[in-house]
Amino acid sequence: MRTSLRATTVVLAVAASALSLTAVGTASPATAQPAGGTSHPLPYEDSRLPVPRRVADLLSRMTLEEKVGQMTQTERYQVADDTSPITTWHLGSILSGGGSTPTPNTPTAWADMVDRFQRAALATRLHIPLLYGIDSVHGDGNMLGATVFPHNIGLGATRDPALVREVEHVTASETRSSGPQWAFAPCLCAARDDRWGRTYESFGEDPRLVEQMETAIDGLQGPPGHLGDRDRVLATVKHYAGDGDTRYGTGSGDYPIDQGVAVTDRKSFWRNALQQYVPAVRQHHAGSVMPSYSSVDWTEDGVGNPVKMHGNRELLTGVLKGAMGFHGVVISDWEGIHQLPGDWPTQVRTGVNAGIDMMMEPNAYQSFETTLLDEVHAGRVPTSRIDDAVSRILTAKFELGLFEHPFTDRTDLPDIGGPAHRAVARRAVAESQVLLANHHRTLPVRPGAHLYVAGSNADDIGNQAGGWTMTWQGGSGATIPGTTILDGLRQGAGAGNVTWSQDASAPVGPDDVGVVVVGETPYAEGFGDVGGPRWAYDPGDHGVPRPVKDMQLSGADKAAVDRVCSAAASCVVVVVSGRPLVLDPQQLGEADAVVAAWLPGSEGEGVADTLLGRRPFTGKLPVSWPRTVAQEPVKGGDPHDDPLFPFGFGLTTARRTS
């Protein structure tokens, strides 16, 4: 049964008073320019023709096997040593998951690898180029030497859409100049429960704040018609829809909230999880959408039957492609359809018929292709659905200019991680700092003061970068080039004016200004859920288990705060974390100033800039800050909640003039 009309009237009508969903505007497709002034024998090869005509011509020449190949994406490790499967299976796309990199992990090696894969794709009968995707979620964090920006929660704290656009433009440039043309970013979830391990991927708890930060899409893709520029990539808004609205205790596997269920009614789902996708599609023209692992359960229907987003035809086809008028590519998450009910053929059929255009199949790509072919031959997946999916994929490739310029344009490759890009990141870090407390005008630190720096996160660039940095889960230590917060303080105050003692075991001078930098260690997805898996491994861990996340300061960090704040003339506590951490009354009472630094990335100098007064504190909380974990979920505007610091809170300071 078709659900487009029902989805339009039921799910989206609740917002009709605020936003009309009629008369959908779409971007005009980009028209490629002639390649070298030559004409081509076939219409789809003629860059002078409009994209829709080129797509229609190419589609008419494709076999079913070639079409299904275009709908298939696999991981680089499947083709790293032998690229022949790209040609044999007509693969439409390759991705790098977290930590999946060439050797050596350099920008040039990335470009060489992507171009090698591209040559295999161009060896197919119709010479259809590949799309290469990567998780550039806070810069191209998979590539050593890239500029690593604050995670989205920090960008949300800036309240600066123009800065976010600039950040993502740098991200796009560093990504595309090293080969990939597709970024699986930005995340548009509104994180409603800080116990969720992906909270830092959200711009904030309020969908209206998320909408303000959707300039990220413009930064990645550029203005309409510029997707083929050498410094732009296809953006992916994710995870559609409701991943930030899942109920604690409904997560899959050992996860208490990740990949869980949004138990809600349609009006609330629109308000909390869906509305932000309308401007992403209509105003910012997002090129692709990734469904969520989560499910939605319409409690108002009294059904109690959660539906996985990867199989939700109502929301993928009816609402996204129908009511919102999305014309781009729907790409599954990593093995997303494997979580659907039923056997493998049922999962394949359900996902494709629901509206997914390309399947991310790192391991079962061959089985996906043969199974989908069987389903089409059996009449269970209509050829019209196949043609729609492939048309969307080909449109993206034409608009990216890949048919004319399939290989990496390396013009901007020397700029990766360069001073200009790092200056943007440093400014983003400074603007993201939120001053939560500032008794006696402790901050900014007075000029010439001697600093006593302690805490687990003062000199750990891996911790300040967080997850999705070099590996999926990230890692502590010197994982990437850049500056730690300690580096920034030494450079700004002078190395002779800084005493460093991680555990605060060195003597504290009575006139010292204490700066204790505390917080979390890296994690990603469900492994960051509070109370999540006790034994979470990553290839970079070498079998070392990660601690259970609890939103509390570690014992060592609490001890460092106690030692420094009890002895120093004044004391600043800086919290480096992907979400609010519980600050017990003792620590709050000891501290003269408290700063939320979030996950600043590679440029710790930006934190030092605000502490030392080189830049003012201007950041505002993107999420409410709870008093206890038991308060969660705590959200701004709820009269029953009593957060320690409310959504939007943030003290300001003036920039020092001397």
Q: Cβ of 344: how many Cβ atoms within 10 Å?
A: 14
DSSP characters over 77-91: GGTSS--HHHHHTT-
Phi first, then psi: give them for residue 310, nearest 5 degrees: -65, -15
Q: Edge-to-edge strands of the sheet including 329-330?
A: 236-240, 288-291, 329-330
What are the residues whose beta carbons fall under 8 Å from the beta carbon of 291, sequence distance 6 or more?
238, 239, 240, 309, 310, 312, 316, 330, 332, 333, 336, 356
Asked about 300 being catalytic, the answer comes back as: no
Q: Rounded to whole angstroms, how far apart are CA atoms 279 and 471?
A: 32
What are the residues whose beta carbons fall under 8 Å from the beta carbon of 301, sequence distance 6 or more?
none
Given the residues 135, 231, 333, 538, select the one marked as catalytic.
333
Given the residues 160, 201, 460, 525, select the one marked as catalytic.
525
Asked about 632 being catalytic, the answer comes back as: no
Q: Rounded to whole angstroms, how far apart are CA atoms 332 and 337?
A: 7
User: What sign results for the dihedral spanned by CA atoms 582, 647, 239, 99?
Assistant: negative
Helices (H), 263-417: 266-269, 277-282, 313, 344-354, 365-377, 383-399
Q: Rounded to whole angstroms, how far apart are CA atoms 270 and 7?
A: 12
What are the residues whose beta carbons fall under 8 Å from the beta carbon of 567, sequence distance 6 or more?
508, 510, 512, 514
User: What sign results for the dihedral spanned by CA atoms 463, 134, 149, 651?
Assistant: negative
Q: Which of 618, 629, 533, 619 is nearest to 580 (CA)?
A: 629
Q: Rounded to whole angstroms, how far apart are CA atoms 499 and 502?
A: 10
CA separation, residue 192 to residues 137, 215, 262, 435 (Å): 20, 22, 11, 22
Residue 539 is encoded by which pair of tokens? 């290839």
- Which one-letter amino acid corresponds to residue 602? S
User: What sign results for the dihedral spanned by CA atoms 589, 593, 596, 597?
Assistant: negative
- Buried/exposed 238-273: b ≥16 CB within 10 Å, e otherwise: bbbbbbbbbbbebbbeebbbbbbbbbbebebbbbbb
- CA–chain centroid gap for 27, Å, is 24
Q: Please identify every residue annotated as catalytic.
A: 333, 525
